[in-house]
Amino acid sequence: MNSDVSTDQSESDGQVPVSVVPMQHAAKRVILTMGGKGGVGKTSFMLSLAEWFTSKEVAFKLLDLDTENKARGSLAHYFGRAAKKVDIHTAAGLDSFIDYIDDGTSIVLADMGASSGQVTYDWFDSMFEDVQALGVSFTAIGIVTPDPASVESVLSWAAHLQDRVHYIIVENAITYPADFTYWRETEQAQVFQKALHPVVLSVDFRLPELENPARQHGITLGEIAERRHDVDELRRASLVLRAQSYRRRLFQEIENAKHLLLP
Amino acid sequence: MDPRFEAVLKRLPQKRYRSCLEPYKDLIREMRKRGSCYREIAQVLHEEFGLKVGMSTINDFVLSRMKSKTRVNGNRTSFSGTDRNRKTRIGTGEHHKDTQEPTRHFQTPTQPRLSKPAPHLPFKYNQDEPLRILRKKGEHDE
C-alpha cells in the first residue's frame, strides 16, 4: 500500500497547514465518490481504485469521510489507519482535501458518506475557485445500480457540481443479471451524459460466497487473488481464480478512465 | 438612557471577539478590495501575524460581515443605493460606512457590474421529477 500517512500534519500539530504556495501549478487530483445513495458500492470501488493505484506504484492518500460507516464496509475496515477518518460536518467542510494534498501526495482518494451532499456542494461553491488555482483537479465517481434511486442520486450531485469536476460513472452489477434501464435509457441520464461526458465503467456481479466473507473480514480482492490472508473460506481455488478474474477485468475497466484518475 | 440601564451595561463584561479574524477585518476588507483571494489572505495572516486560518474561515468571516454591516443604527450605511446596486458590492468589501472612496459605482451608470454573471449550467436536473424512460424506436402507445 502506497498510501502515506506519516506526514499527517493536521494530526500532528492540530493546525491547518497554510503553506500552500509550493502547491501552485502542481498537478494534483482529488478523486471523490458522489455520496447520496448508500449501499451501492462506493467503498468497494474505492478499494479497487486503491489497489489499482498500488499496482501502478502511484502514491495516494485515502480519506474516509463516511463517518456514519464506522465498522465493516468502511475504508478503515480494510486499510486500518492508512485510511484517515475525517468528519466533514464542521465549518471547515472539505478543507481536509487541501491539507492532505499539500504534503507532497498528488492523489487523494476520498470516500464520501451517504449524507455528504450538502456539505460538498457548499464547499465547492465557496472554495472551488481558490483550490483550482492551486492546480488541483477533481474527479467525481458516481455508482449506479439497477435501483433508480442510485441514478437520481448521481444526477442530483452532478446538477450541483456541474463541470467543476470530471465524471466517472460505474455501472455496478449488484444483481445478476443487472438491468441498468434507469441509467441507460432515461431522458435525464442521457442529458447528463451529453452535457458532462462521463467515462462509464462496468463492474461485474460478484459471487456472494466471495463478496460476503471478504466484507466480513475486511479483505481486498487483491489479497484473495494472491492468498494474502488467513481466512480459510476464501482460500478455495475456485474463489481465488474468481478474484483474479474480477480484478483483471476491473483493472481493464479502470484503465479506460486513467486520464481522469492520474494527475 | 435610563440610568439604571446604563449601570447594568457598565457592569457587563466586554464581549470578546467572536472571531479570531475580527482584529484583522480592515486588512481583510482592503485585501478583498484589491482583489486578493482567500488563499492569499490566509498566507498574509500566517506570514505577517502568525495566524493560521483556513480559507473557508475567511470566507465565512467575510460573508458574515457583509450581512451585519449593511445597516448601522437601523439605517442603511453609506452606500444607500438600491438593493440591486448593493448586491454588486458583495464580495468587494466596499460597503463600510467609513470608506472614503466615493460612491462612484452608483453615480456612474456606465460602471461595469462587479458581480459575476449568472453561471452557465451545462446540466439541469429537477430532482422532484421522476426519471422518464425513453421509448425505443418502434414502441407505440397501446
Q: What are the tens digits of pLDDT across the range A225-259?
A: 999 998 999 999 999 999 999 999 999 999 999 99
Tens of pLDDT, residues A12-46:
443 333 333 344 444 899 999 998 778 899 989 99
Burial of A172 from C-beta contacts in 10 A (0-12 / 13-18 / 19+): buried
Question: How far, in whole angstroms, is CA B124 from its chain's centroid?
Answer: 26
Residue A63: strand pairing partners: A84, A110
Residue B80's pLDDT is 33
**What's the average model confidence in pLDDT over A135-163?**
95
CA-to-CA distance for B90 and B114, rounded, in angstroms?
8
Q: How many CB contacts within 8 angstroms connect chain A with chain B?
A: 92
Predicted local confidence at residue B118, as pLDDT = 59
Task: Give me the mean pLDDT over the A160-175 stretch.
Answer: 94
- Residue B50 scores a pLDDT above 80: yes
Q: Give yes or no for a contact between A112 and A128, defined as CB atoms under 8 angstroms apart.
A: no
| B133/A185 CB distance under 8 A | yes
State the average pLDDT over residues A182-211.
94
CA atoms of B89 and A147, how far apart (whole Å): 46
In a mutational test of the A interface, the residue from B52, B61, B125 whose CB has the highest number of chain A CBs within 10 Å is B125
**In angstroms, rounded to a whole number, what is the distance separating the alpha carbons of residues A156 and A152?**
6
Whether the predicted pLDDT of A126 surpasses 60? yes
Q: What is the ipTM of this complex?
A: 0.76
Give the burial class of A192: count Cβ atoms within 10 A of its Cβ; 0-12 exposed, 13-18 middle, 19 or more buried.
buried
Q: What distance in Å separates residue B68's CA from the closest CA in chain A?
A: 19
Which pLDDT band, with edges at 50, 70 and 90, does A93 fall under? confident
pLDDT at res. A23: 41
Tell which wins on pLDDT, A38 or B91.
A38
pLDDT for res A244: 95
Q: Is the distance from CB of A246 to CB of A204 less than 8 angstroms? A: yes
Report how far Cα A162 is from the mean position of its chain's Cα atoms. Answer: 18
Domains annotated for chain A, with CATH where assigned, are 22-206 (3.40.50.300)
Exposure on the CB side of residue A137, measured as CA atoms within 13 A: 13
A137 forms beta bridges with A29
Report whether pLDDT(B103) > 50: no
Per-residue buried b or exposed e for A56-86, using 16+ beta carbons within 10 Å of the residue's own CB: bebebbbbbbbeebeeebbbbbbbeebbbeb
* Eight-class DSSP state of B119: P
Lowest-confidence segment of A52-66, A162-176, B35-49 by average pLDDT: B35-49
Residues in chain A closer than 8 A to B123 (CB atoms): 158-159, 162-163, 191-192, 195-196
Residues of A in contact with B57 (CB under 8 A): 91-92
Domain boundaries along the sequence of chain B = 19-94
CB contact under 8 A, B133 and A134: no
pLDDT recorded at residue A15: 39
For range B52-78, the mean pLDDT: 66
**CB-based contact A34:A140 (threshold 8 Å):** yes
Provide the CA B125 distance to its chain's centre, in angstroms: 28
Q: Enumerate residues 6+ apart whose C-beta is below 8 A from A132.
A: A164
- Annotate A64-114 with three-state secondary structure: EECCCCCCCCCHHHHHHHHEEECCCCCCCCCCHHHHHHCCCCCEEEEEECC
CB contacts, 8 Å: B127 with chain A: 152, 155-156, 159
Check whether A7 has a pLDDT greater than 80.
no
